[in-house]
C-alpha cells in the first residue's frame, strides 16, 4: 500500500498515479514511515563513549593535581566513585539487556555501596547505614509497587524482591537494636513499608501468589 504525499490518500493497488490529485507516486514515498533504530542506537552509544571519555579526562586531571602538590585524595576517590556510577547507569540504560527490575535493583545496590564507601572515606559517621540503606528500602518498595502495576500480567515475579526487602529491613532493625545504627526511626518506617507491600501482595494475590511462592521456594 502506498500513500500520496501531496493529499494523503492511501493507494491500495499498484498505481503510479494518485487517483485524487494525479500526482506521481514514487517508490520511496514511504521510506521514512519507520524510524531508523540503528541510527538512534549509534547516537546513544556515542553519548555513552563521550561520557566515559570525559570521566577519564576528569580522573586524569584530578590525579595530576594530587601529584603536583595539591593533594585531595579522598575527594578524588569520591568523584571517581560517582563517575563509575554515572557510567554504569548509562551503560545499563542504553544496552537494555536486562529488565527494569534487575536494572533498578543493581543501580540501587551500586549507589548504596558507593555512598557507604563515601561515608567510610570521610570518617564513617554512620549516615549511610542510618539513612541511606533504609531510604533505599523504601525507594525500592515504591518502585516495586509501580512496576507491579506496569507489568500487571507478571506481577507475581516481584514477590522475591519484596521478601528480600523485608529481610534487609529486619537486618537493619537488628543493627539498630545492637547500637550500630543510631537513628532507628527511618528503619522502622522502612520495615513497615516493606512488610505492608509483601503482605498486601500475598493477601490480594491469592492463588497466583501462593503458586509463585511454591515455584520459587517450595512453600
What does the domain layout of the chain look like in residue ranges? 1-34, 127-219
* pLDDT tens sequence across 29-48: 444 444 555 667 778 888 88
Residue 191 has what pLDDT? 93
Q: What is the mean pLDDT of the chain?
A: 82
All residues at 6 or more sequence positions from 103 whose CB lies less than 8 Å from its CB, including other chains: 92, 93
* pLDDT tens sequence across 56-75: 999 999 888 888 877 778 88
Phi, psi of 208 (to 5 degrees): -65, -40
C-alpha cell at 205: 494475590
Residue 14 has what pLDDT? 66
All residues at 6 or more sequence positions from 156 whose CB lies less than 8 Å from its CB, including other chains: 201, 205, 208, 209, 211, 212
Give the whole-angstrom CA distance, residue 52 versus residue 54.
6
| Residue 162 CB burial class (10 angstroms; 0-12, 13-18, ≥19) | buried
Higher local confidence (pLDDT), 92 or 4: 92
* pLDDT tens sequence across 154-191: 888 899 999 999 999 999 999 888 888 878 889 999 99
* pLDDT tens sequence across 116-156: 988 888 888 888 888 999 999 999 999 999 988 888 888 88
Phi, psi of 61 (to 5 degrees): -65, -40
Name the nearest CA neighbour of 124 among 189, 182, 187, 66. Answer: 182
- pTM for the model stands at 0.69
Amino acid at each position: 500500500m502506498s500513500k500520496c504525499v501531496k493529499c494523503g490518500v492511501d493507494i491500495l493497488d499498484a498505481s503510479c498515479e494518485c487517483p485524487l490529485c494525479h500526482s506521481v507516486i514514487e517508490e520511496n514515498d514511504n521510506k521514512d514511515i519507520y524510524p531508523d533504530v540503528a541510527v538512534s542506537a549509534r547516537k546513544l552509544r556515542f553519548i555513552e563513549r563521550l561520557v566515559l571519555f570525559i570521566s577519564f579526562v576528569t580522573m586524569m586531571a584530578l590525579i595530576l593535581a594530587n601529584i603536583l602538590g595539591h593533594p585531595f585524595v579522598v575527594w578524588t576517590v569520591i568523584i571517581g566513585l560517582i563517575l563509575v556510577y554515572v557510567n554504569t547507569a548509562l551503560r545499563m540504560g542504553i544496552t537494555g539487556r536486562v529488565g527494569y527490575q534487575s536494572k533498578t535493583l543493581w543501580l540501587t545496590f551500586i549507589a548504596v555501596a558507593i555512598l557507604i564507601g563515601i561515608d567510610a572515606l570521610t570518617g564513617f559517621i554512620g549516615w549511610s547505614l542510618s539513612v541511606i540503606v533504609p531510604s533505599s528500602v523504601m525507594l525500592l518498595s515504591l518502585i516495586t509497587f509501580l512496576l507491579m502495576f506496569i507489568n500487571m500480567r507478571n506481577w507475581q515475579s516481584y514477590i522475591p524482591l519484596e521478601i528480600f526487602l523485608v529481610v534487609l529491613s529486619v537486618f537493619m532493625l537488628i543493627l539498630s537494636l545492637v547500637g550500630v545504627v543510631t537513628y532507628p526511626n527511618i528503619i522502622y518506617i522502612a520495615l513497615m513499608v516493606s512488610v505492608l507491600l509483601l503482605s498486601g501482595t500475598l493477601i490480594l494475590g491469592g492463588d497466583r501468589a501462593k503458586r509463585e511462592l511454591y515455584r520459587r521456594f517450595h512453600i
